Amino acid sequence: SKAYERYSATLADTKEGDAKDFGWRKAFDKWRDIANEELISNLRSKDFLAAQRELLLAGLDLRTCQQQMTDSVAKLLGVPSQHDFDELTRQFTELRRELRASLRAQRDAAEGARGVATQPGKG
């Protein structure tokens, strides 16, 4: 509503000679500028930031409660929970890293052995 009030005041302040050059593009540009200023002002206000913080905390609390309920139902039904899947994913990731490191070490050792065998006077 503040943006509309400012925009209306801008239109009212437009002189008659300027009004002829004040087409829809200029009117829209002016409206966009005013609306952006008001939006940024509102987004930076303490009230808005407090409301955003409360919304975020409520969302996190809801997610925690949902996860606890899901884990309870999974345990009751004897099926894996999200925590179980997360743990398996972590273990797979660690195993893949170890495998890549082992393969890299074997490759480096093989390349090093070939390099020693091809050098003159060695081997």
Per-residue model confidence (pLDDT) at position 42 = 87
Q: Where does the pLDDT of residue 15 fall: very low under 50, low under 70, confident under 90, or very high at 90 and above?
A: low
> Which of 2, 1, 5, 3 is CA-nearest to residue 13?
5
Rounded average pLDDT over 24-50:
88
Rounded average pLDDT over 85-113:
94
Per-residue model confidence (pLDDT) at position 16 = 56
Per-residue model confidence (pLDDT) at position 17 = 52
What's this model's pTM, rounded to 2 decimal places?
Answer: 0.48
Burial bucket for residue 27 (CB in 10 Å: 0-12, 13-18, 19+): middle
Per-residue model confidence (pLDDT) at position 96 = 98
So where are the chain's domains?
80-123
Provide the percentage of residues in the chain whose pLDDT is more than 90. 49
pLDDT at 6 over 70: yes
What type of residue is 31?
A: W
Provide the phi-psi class of 78: left if phi over 0, else alpha when psi is between -120 and 50, else beta: left
CB 110 within 8 A of CB 116: no
